[in-house]
Amino acid sequence: MNLRSDTQTHMETILFYEKPGCQNNIRQKKILELSGHVVHSVSLLEHPWTKEELGRYLGEKVVADCFNRAAPAIKSGLVNPLDFTKDEALEAMIKEPLLIKRPLLKIGNHCIQGFDTAVLQNLINLKPVQGNEHIAEEFGSHDLNSCPHIDNSTCINKEQ
C-alpha cells in the first residue's frame, strides 16, 4: 500500500547525502533522476551533522544496521558496530562520517537511511519516465547497497 496516492506521476525533490565518487551513490541518484525526480546532492562527509539530525535518518533501526559495513575502520576490525548504543553510534558517526550507512535521503518530511527500493516505492515513483526504461534497467541491474570495491581503495583515494 502506497503512502501517497500520486506516486505514479508526482515528481519529488530529494536531498541526497552521499559520499562523493561512490559508484553506488551515483547509480542510486541516476535511478531517482530517471524516474523524474530532482536530486540535490550533499557530501555526507562534509555536512555538519548534529545528533538530532542524524538520529532522524537512523530512526528506530537496530544500531548495528546503521553502520556502513564497508567503512575501513569496520572492515579492519577497529570498530565493531555491535559495541555501540545509539547515542555512542551517533557520536562516532559524527566524528567519522564514513561509518554512516549511505545514502541518506530526505523526501518531504521523510528521512531515510539506505537505498531500500521497497521503502522508496511506498513514498515515490521509482519507475523510469517514458524513454528512460532501457537506461534505468542498466542501473537497476547492479547491487545498489554493497560496496563494489573489495579493498575499498577507490572509495578512499580518488587517484587509484
Sheet (strand 110-113) strand order: 38-43, 13-18, 104-107, 110-113
Given a cut of 90, whether residue 52 has pLDDT beyond it is: yes
Give all domains of the chain, ordered by start, each with its CATH number: 13-140 (3.40.30.10)
CA–CA gap between residue 92 and residue 101 (Å, rounded)? 13
Catalytic residue among 22, 66, 111, 155: 22
CA 98-33-10 angle, to 5 degrees, is 120
Let me know if 22 is a catalytic residue. yes
The structure's pTM equals: 0.80
pLDDT per residue over 86-142, tens digit each?
999 999 999 999 999 999 999 999 999 999 998 998 899 888 776 655 554 555 544
In Å, how far are 52, 86, 94, 127 from 91, measured between CA atoms?
Answer: 11, 9, 5, 37
